[in-house]
């Protein structure tokens, strides 16, 4: 059966309804008259939503006397809250039992499922492409794009028989659970890495004697030196005025700060120079033996350049840390040290606070660094390299799971693929 409402073929026993037909919307508002001035309200705003896992990740406890005027909508277990502001960000969550009778901002629409729709199915539907695209098409405003409650009420929902809704939502919820567990594993591994870096760069491996320095307590065999003794800071270069990147991929990649990602370079959206521009900018390159660091705007993003981008051109908003004492310092140790909480603190101390924060070359050169032997540097960084590989593998797994979930949503929520009712 073809539905003209959302222009899609659906199974003949399915229906297309509006959200207002299957939900009660914004059913209960906070009555301030029933509260004492010092009663605390558990308040959910847009920033409370984890937009990766579509859960409430935090909330505020606010006394009645300082409660924002927009804190009005009461939430109940199994309600679905949808942000009406920038709906493309999908700040949507299902209310769990622990958030029962909290209060959320009027920037949310609160949906309570009626008998004909399963609340878990409703949750999956409003996260799906069809509904989100509907909201995006109804946004009003450029600086603060939003939809209103009526837009939510009039939104489409495809409605399978109730038993099929439950099976579909169960399948999608199970995938969500695996995605959440994988994300938690990644978060825990990243916390482990952070703690390990702090320990390795202050205690090293197997040391028994220590010394007190301006950098804190470190192994007696280590020394503290300024970066200028070990590296040369080189600049990148912007395109000359009026010039543009090549419209086609060439042999001359150009690395921007927005290409910096997870200690390496994201290869997906690189810009390229024309042969003519390459001749002009030829000396402003970075080697795969160097470390990059952002020096304008977002200060202190550091990483290594993959071999396939050896001698690529570098933006003027980053510097190239070229190691001149290779017998004393490895690129991996330099990267991980600057990326650690110890290194990042030293970077923050040296940036200039202006409208656009900057990090001057001279200030980079004065950054102190602890210096173990080359052998120990390689030992220390091998732990971190292996941990990074594990994290990267889990990120790949997470991305695959999210693709699987997206495909399942497109097929199951529209009836392109049916589930056997016998599963109940």
User: Residue 132's domain is classified under what CATH number?
Assistant: 3.90.220.20
> Beta partners for 109?
82
Query: Residue range 335-348: average pLDDT?
Result: 96
Q: Is the pLDDT of residue 201 over 60?
A: yes
Name which of 265, 315, 314, 307 is nearest 288 in CA terms.
307
Helix (H/G/I), strand (E/B), else coil: 383 = helix
Name which of 361, 331, 363 is nearest 346 in CA terms.
363
> Beta partners for 146?
85, 140
> Beta partners for 74?
103
Q: Is the pLDDT of residue 187 over 90?
A: yes
pLDDT in tens, 230-248: 999 999 999 999 999 999 9
Q: Is the pLDDT of residue 297 over 90?
A: no
User: Could you tell me if 101 and 113 lie in one domain?
Assistant: yes
Q: pLDDT value at position 424?
A: 46
Strands 312-314 and 285-286: antiparallel
Query: Which position has the token pair 């958030």?
Result: 99
User: Could you tell me if 39 and 139 lie in one domain?
Assistant: yes
User: Could you tell me if 339 and 315 lie in one domain?
Assistant: yes
pTM of the full structure: 0.84
User: Could you tell me if 84 and 193 lie in one domain?
Assistant: no
Which residues constitute the domain of residue 411?
160-208+373-424
Hey, CA dihedral for 343, 396, 92, 42, is it positive or negative?
Answer: negative
Q: Is the pLDDT of residue 40 over 90?
A: no
pLDDT in tens, 115-137: 999 999 999 999 999 999 999 99
Query: What is the band of 1 on the pLDDT scale with cuts at 50, 70, 90?
Result: very low
CB 394 within 8 Å of CB 182: yes
Question: Is residue 256 assigned to a domain?
Answer: yes
Query: Residue range 217-241: average pLDDT?
Result: 96
User: Could you tell me if 142 and 173 lie in one domain?
Assistant: no
Across 26-30, 245-249, 256-260, 353-357, least confident range: 353-357
The DSSP line for 97-125 is: GGGTT-EEETTEEEEEE-TTS-HHHHHHH
Name which of 1, 4, 7, 8 is nearest 414 in CA terms.
8
pLDDT in tens, 82-96: 999 999 999 999 999
Our count of domains for the chain comes to: 3
User: Could you tell me if 411 and 362 lie in one domain?
Assistant: no
Q: Is the pLDDT of residue 2 over 50?
A: no
Query: Residue range 380-385: average pLDDT?
Result: 97
Q: pLDDT value at position 5?
A: 60
Residue 405, token pair as written in the block: 């979930």
């Amino acid at each position: 059966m073809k539905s003209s409402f959302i222009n899609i073929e659906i199974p003949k026993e399915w229906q297309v309804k509006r959200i207002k037909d299957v939900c009660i919307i914004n059913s209960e508002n906070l009555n301030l008259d029933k509260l004492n001035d010092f009663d605390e309200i558990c308040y959910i705003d847009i920033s409370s939503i984890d937009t990766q896992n579509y859960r409430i990740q935090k909330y505020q406890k606010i006394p009645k006397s300082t409660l924002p005027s927009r804190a009005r909508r009461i939430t109940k277990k199994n309600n679905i809250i949808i942000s009406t502001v920038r709906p493309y960000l999908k700040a949507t969550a299902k209310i769990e039992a622990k958030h029962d009778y909290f209060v959320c901002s009027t920037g949310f629409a609160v949906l309570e499922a009626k008998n004909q729709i399963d609340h878990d199915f409703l949750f999956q539907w409003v996260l799906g492409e069809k509904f989100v695209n509907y909201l995006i098409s109804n946004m009003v405003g450029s600086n603060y794009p939003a939809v209103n409650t009526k837009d939510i009420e009039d939104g489409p929902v495809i409605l399978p028989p109730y038993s099929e809704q439950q099976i579909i939502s169960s399948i999608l919820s199970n995938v969500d659970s695996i995605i959440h567990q994988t994300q938690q594993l990644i978060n825990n591994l990243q916390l482990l890495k952070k703690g390990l870096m702090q320990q390795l760069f202050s205690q090293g491996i197997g040391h028994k004697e220590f010394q007190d320095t301006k950098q804190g307590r470190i192994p007696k065999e280590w020394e503290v030196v300024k970066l200028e003794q070990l590296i040369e800071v080189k600049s990148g270069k912007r395109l000359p005025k009026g010039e543009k990147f090549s419209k086609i991929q060439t042999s001359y990649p150009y690395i921007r700060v927005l290409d910096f990602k997870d200690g390496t370079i994201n290869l997906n959206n690189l810009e390229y120079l024309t042969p003519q521009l390459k001749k002009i900018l030829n000396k402003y390159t970075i080697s795969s033996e160097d470390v990059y660091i952002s020096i304008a705007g977002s200060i202190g993003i550091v990483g290594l350049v993959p071999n396939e981008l050896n001698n690529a051109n570098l933006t003027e908003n980053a510097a190239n840390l070229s190691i001149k004492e290779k017998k004393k310092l490895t690129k991996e140790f330099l990267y991980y040290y600057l990326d650690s909480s110890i290194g990042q603190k030293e970077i923050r101390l040296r940036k200039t606070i202006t409208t656009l924060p900057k990090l001057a070359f001279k200030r980079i050169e004065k950054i102190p660094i602890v210096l173990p032997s080359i052998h120990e540097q390689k030992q220390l960084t091998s732990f971190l390299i292996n941990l990074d590989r594990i994290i990267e593998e889990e990120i790949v797994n997470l991305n695959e799971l999210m693709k699987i979930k997206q495909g399942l949503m497109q097929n199951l929520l529209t009836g392109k693929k049916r589930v056997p009712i016998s599963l109940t």
